[in-house]
Amino acid sequence: MTNNLLRFDAGTLLLELANIADFPFELAGVFKHDPRTGNFRARACDYARIVLTLKRKDFPFTDRARDYANLDTLVLKEEITPHPHQHFALEKWLAHSGRGVVSLPTGAGKTILAVLAISRIRRPALVLVPTIDLLTQWATVLERFFPVPVGMLGGGSHDIQNLTVSTYDSVVLNMEFIGNRFGLLIADECHHLPGPGYQLSAAMAIAPFRLGLSATPEMDAERAATLRELMGETVCHVGIDELEGKVLSHYQVKRMFVQLNAEEEQLYRKQRAIYTAFLRRFGINFASRCGWRDFLIACSRFPGGKEAFAAFLEQRKIARAGRAKLELLENILLSHPGERIIIFTADNDTAYSIGRRFTFPVVTHHTRSAERKAFLDAFRTGEYPVLVTSKVLNEGVDIPSAAVGVVFSGSGSVREHVQRLGRILRPSPGKNQAMLYELVSAGTSEEYTSGRRREHQAYRQRR
Amino acid sequence: MLKKEHICCKIASGRVKPLLIDTALPANLELAGSLLAVYLEAYNNSMTRMELEQLAGNVISASVDEKFASGLNKLLLDRTEFSPAAELDHPAYRRKLFLRSAELFKQGKLSAPPSAGTPDIYGDLPAFEKMAAFDGMTPDALLKLYNLAQCQALLVYASNIELRLADPDVSGLRKVMKAIKFFRLLAEFTNLKSKGIKITISGPYALFAPSAKYAVSLAALLPVMVNLKKWSLEAMITFRERELKLKLDEKLELHSPQRSFSSFVPEEIRLYHRHFAERSADWQIIGETPFLDAGNQQIIFPDLSFASKENGKTIHLELFHRWHAGQLSARLELLKNHPEIPLILGIDRAVITKAELDEQLAGYPELRQRCWLFSDFPGVENTLKVLKTVQ
């Protein structure tokens, strides 16, 4: 034991030196002197670099930062034969020292890839997921493949084990306490990670091995650079077209336009005129980055703002959920009797109004976890053939039996639209072809929104 | 806590100034009184969240300054608790209906729209929750809380703050230090000689990048600071995509709803107190924890203090979490030299291992008995065991 200590401190690393003159200057760019505590401090995510540098120069130190042991005896409970694309992705990731992002389409087996990565690296692993549904889903898969307890953080659970799954939200609050207990960090749907709230979580973890997983890793340069710094380079990318008909179902996308009825159209035009006149009056442009913010500020400050905001909501509501759309939905439902159908909406109100109209289960963030699980289980078994949701089931949730998707309304986000398609692409016995309907109110702003969200390879081929 | 849309401030020359309201103005007091009356009425009649929103909405839309009224409403909403509507077992009711609609759908039919008078299948959504508790206050106190909340709402955009105390007294300083420790922040002290002291407060990671992670904790310090005598606070905040300087001081006459920080009890401490009271026959927790002057300008701010029911003997407990690991060695040295200090130590396992602690205290068996290791939070059983040994 030496008197030089490397210690984990609330998401950072402290280097406590017996003699300050011994400071290793190779690490001058990593450590900063902290006047608050009088020692040297570094980001926890620089742990691997620090330890390698200190060991390389035979610098005597005691590593008290790392609070985990290797899981040398960890073996899979059942053997996995990876698909060729999974094998390829794993080898690429390992070749990059177990650090990097793998981009695979939804349904291509990212969870299994992560299981394989854990079994190869054999370190305590923390899996980050964006939703509570994915939290339980991941925990179930890990429990199936590993003979060790699996912890959960989030959704009312606070159980930390060598294999732990956490929501991004929960780990933000906890990483400063648990950031030194895992050697492998896996970020599912890792396009969320560069967000200002979440990126700190990955920066506060010492895990030398890092695996980012995403079906939709496209993002602006700044966020891409943050993701690269925290998780590593993109080491493997497989497109949806490479797996369609093999690992993924064949699919068809049908965009259907509906006309507003005369009364709705009149009201739509009237409300839109009020709102667009307000935009013009104050020079607000929604194409600019601050457009939405400027609109909200102007609505709260200037005369006519309250009416403009109400008009904005009303015209959007008509475009998203007109009567004709509801009638078309009814026809679509009747043309797929007994099939497993998932209906997506842009907002909770529309989801609940569809749920009330047809007596269908609705999953939103208001749905309590026990009932949410019951709804999903019943949908998987076919007991409930139809499920309505706003946004909470957009990502990751494994419902392979869903063969039909209906985008009743949505945002202009390409990511959201691709993820929604992904919900119905997973292969399942008896599923020959998946079908995605997209319902658009003709002559409204929905046409433009729909055009924007279809800017992806998965849709371009279907035009 | 107020949200971004409730903030009223003036921005000029790179500075941001909260626009505080006159707490003595009759019109303001009347508005606060009207909203409080709405909440009391809603509470007395167990109204739903939706009904409360409608009633409060009437008062807000009738007010001269809707933003101000919405801010007051938000503060009252924070003091309100709701419980699910209990008239119907909605999950069971839904399940019955969903099974029926599923059967119909499998036969190629759809359920008819619900007829009038049947219970709403989603009648247990938050909008239908009933008001279960309301922590009321006077109109004057609500207006004072509003001014404090306006300043806190801006502090939420800070990554560090500089607190200056012109004439620091030990008691005030102790409260600030206790709060800093509680919120897991770090402080750097600068002696300004005749001008008092400057305390720069931020979180551990703030050394590398400005982070909003600590902002809520920084904002939560304000109620402690406003109870000090001569204080001023400066913070750079990132607000509306601009870097702005925020300055607050005692001249703003901000009032804290918590007269003493020790009256603020977080949930984990509350649970600890309850379990302690249930399990301990010989000891009780003392409400107000004093500080210990260990000499040589060393002041110890214990986390909890216990009094023996039998003989009145007082023992203090200091906790060492991961975020104050650096101070443990100094404390152990102090206790080696001053075993008479009535202090026991609870130490997070992340700070030191059992073997390391044994090694550090080899030759001091009595002191070793006064220290124990815990994970995340010290348990009541271990505390009682150590107290018994010390007694």
Per the structure block, which two tokens stand in for B18?
Answer: 């909260």
State yes or no: pLDDT of A451 exceeds 50: yes
pLDDT score of A441: 93
Cα–Cα distance measured from residue A360 to residue B97, given in angstroms and rounded to the nearest whole number: 9
Say if A288 is an interface residue toward chain B (CB within 8 Å).
no
State yes or no: pLDDT of A351 exceeds 50: yes
pLDDT digits (tens, 9 = 90+) for B68-121: 999 999 999 999 999 987 778 999 999 999 999 999 999 999 999 888 888 899
Least confident of A60-64, A217-221, B243-247, B261-265: B261-265
**Mean pLDDT of the residues in chain B:** 87
**Mean pLDDT of the residues in chain A:** 90
- Minimum-distance CB partner of A10 among B188, B200, B204: B204
State yes or no: pLDDT of A114 exceeds 70: yes
Q: Where in chain A are the domains?
A: 5-63, 84-243, 250-259+322-460, 262-320
Provide the number of CB pairs (under 8 Å) joining chain A to chain B.
118
Question: Is the CB of A352 less than 8 angstroms away from the CB of B101?
Answer: no
Neighbours of A58 (CB within 10 A): 6
Say if B135 is an interface residue toward chain A (CB within 8 Å).
no
> What confidence category does residue A462 fall into, taking pLDDT thresholds of 50, 70 and 90?
low
- Which one has a higher pLDDT value, A94 or B64? A94
CATH 1.20.58.220 is the classification of domain A84-243:
no
State yes or no: pLDDT of B263 exceeds 50: no
State yes or no: pLDDT of B258 exceeds 50: yes
Could you tell me the CA-to-CA distances from A386 to A250, A340, A359, A437, B242 in Å, in that order? 21, 6, 10, 15, 48
pLDDT score of A2: 58
> What confidence category does residue A335 fall into, taking pLDDT thresholds of 50, 70 and 90?
very high
> What confidence category does residue B170 fall into, taking pLDDT thresholds of 50, 70 and 90?
low
pLDDT score of B288: 65
Q: In angstroms, what separates the C-alpha of B133 from chain A's closest C-alpha? A: 21
State yes or no: pLDDT of A174 exceeds 80: yes
State yes or no: pLDDT of A310 exceeds 70: yes
| Closest by CA position to B6, among listed B79, B83, B65, B59 | B65
pLDDT score of B188: 83
pLDDT digits (tens, 9 = 90+) for B307-350: 998 888 899 998 887 666 667 877 887 888 888 899 999 998 87
pLDDT digits (tens, 9 = 90+) for B3-34: 998 999 999 999 999 999 999 999 999 999 99
| Closest by CA position to B389, among listed B327, B345, B356, B328 | B345
Q: Tell me the three-class secondary structure of chain A, residue by residue.
A: CCCCEEEEECCEEEEECCCHHHCCHHHCCCCEEECCCCEEEEEHHHHHHHHHHHHHCCCCCEECCCCCCCCCCCCCCCCCCCCHHHHHHHHHHHHCCCEEEEECCCCCCHHHHHHHHHHHHCCCEEEEECCHHHHHHHHHHHHHHCCCCEEEEECCEEECCCEEEEEHHHHHHHHHHHCCCCCEEEECCHHHCCCCCCHHHHHCCCCCEEEEEECCCCCCHHHHHHHHHHHCCEEEECCHHHHECCCECEEEEEEEEECCCHHHHHHHHHHHHHHHHHHHHCCCCCCCCCHHHHHHHHHHHCCCHHHHHHHHHHHHHHHHCCHHHHHHHHHHHHHCCCCCEEEECCCHHHHHHHHHHHCCCEECCCCCHHHHHHHHHHHHHCCCCEEEECCCCCCCCCCCCCCEEEECCCCCCHHHHHHHHHCCCCCCCCCCEEEEEEEEECCCHHHHHHHHHCCCHHHHCCC
Rg of chain A in Å (alpha carbons): 25
Q: In angstroms, what separates the C-alpha of B314 from chain A's closest C-alpha? A: 31
pLDDT digits (tens, 9 = 90+) for A248-260: 888 888 999 999 9
**What angle in degrees, to the nearest 10, is found between the helix axes of B139-155 and B66-78?**
90
Question: Is the CB of A177 less than 8 angstroms away from the CB of B211?
Answer: no
- Which one has a higher pLDDT value, A88 or A453? A88
Q: Where in chain B are the domains?
A: 90-110+117-128, 156-261, 265-390
Q: Could you check whether A84-243 and A250-259+322-460 share the same CATH topology? A: yes
Question: Is the CB of A176 less than 8 angstroms away from the CB of B122?
Answer: no
Q: Could you check whether B156-261 and B265-390 share the same CATH topology? A: no
Which range of A261-275, A400-414, A429-443 scores highest in mean pLDDT? It is: A261-275
pLDDT score of A175: 94
State yes or no: pLDDT of B61 exceeds 50: yes
> What's A250-259+322-460's CATH class?
alpha beta
Cα–Cα distance measured from residue A260 to residue A266, given in angstroms and rounded to the nearest whole number: 9
Question: Is the CB of A334 less than 8 angstroms away from the CB of B98?
Answer: no
Cα–Cα distance measured from residue B144 to residue B150, given in angstroms and rounded to the nearest whole number: 10
> What confidence category does residue B262 fall into, taking pLDDT thresholds of 50, 70 and 90?
very low
State yes or no: pLDDT of A59 exceeds 70: yes
Please compute the mean of the pLDDT values over residues B157-163 and round it to a whole number: 90
Cα–Cα distance measured from residue B215 to residue B198, given in angstroms and rounded to the nearest whole number: 19
Task: Classify residue B354 as left (phi > 0), alpha (psi -120 to 50) or beta.
Answer: alpha
State yes or no: pLDDT of A434 exceeds 80: yes
pLDDT score of A463: 45
Q: Which residues of B touch A357 (CB under 8 A)?
A: 113
Question: Is the CB of A7 less than 8 angstroms away from the CB of B325?
Answer: yes
Q: In angstroms, what separates the C-alpha of A189 from chain B's closest C-alpha? A: 22
Q: Which residues pair with B234 in a beta bridge?
A: B162, B247
Cα–Cα distance measured from residue A6 to residue B265, given in angstroms and rounded to the nearest whole number: 34
In A238-357 the beta strands, taken as DSSP E runs, fall at 250-258, 341-344
Per the structure block, which two tokens stand in for A210?
Answer: 């890092």
Which CATH code of 3.40.1400.10, 3.40.580.10, 2.40.30.210, 3.40.710.10 fits the domain covering B265-390? 3.40.580.10
Say if B377 is an interface residue toward chain A (CB within 8 Å).
no
Say if A39 is an interface residue toward chain B (CB within 8 Å).
yes
- Minimum-distance CB partner of A362 among B95, B122, B326: B122
CATH 3.40.50 is the classification of domain B156-261:
no
pLDDT score of B266: 58
Which range of A129-133, A138-142, A239-243, B302-306 scores highest in mean pLDDT? It is: A138-142
Q: Which residue has the tokens 């009347």?
A: B30
Answer whether 0.90 is exceeded by the pTM.
no
pLDDT digits (tens, 9 = 90+) for B273-308: 888 988 888 999 986 666 676 665 466 778 888 999
Q: Which residues of B touch A383 (CB under 8 A)?
A: 99, 102
- Which one has a higher pLDDT value, A205 or A380? A205
State yes or no: pLDDT of A223 exceeds 50: yes
CATH 3.40.1170.30 is the classification of domain A5-63:
yes
Please compute the mean of the pLDDT values over residues A51-58 and round it to a whole number: 95
Question: Is the CB of A366 less than 8 angstroms away from the CB of B125?
Answer: yes
Interstrand relation of B197-202 and B186-191 (parallel, antiparallel or unpaired): antiparallel
Cα–Cα distance measured from residue B177 to residue A386, given in angstroms and rounded to the nearest whole number: 57
Cα–Cα distance measured from residue A407 to residue A342, given in angstroms and rounded to the nearest whole number: 9
Q: In angstroms, what separates the C-alpha of B125 from chain A's closest C-alpha? A: 7
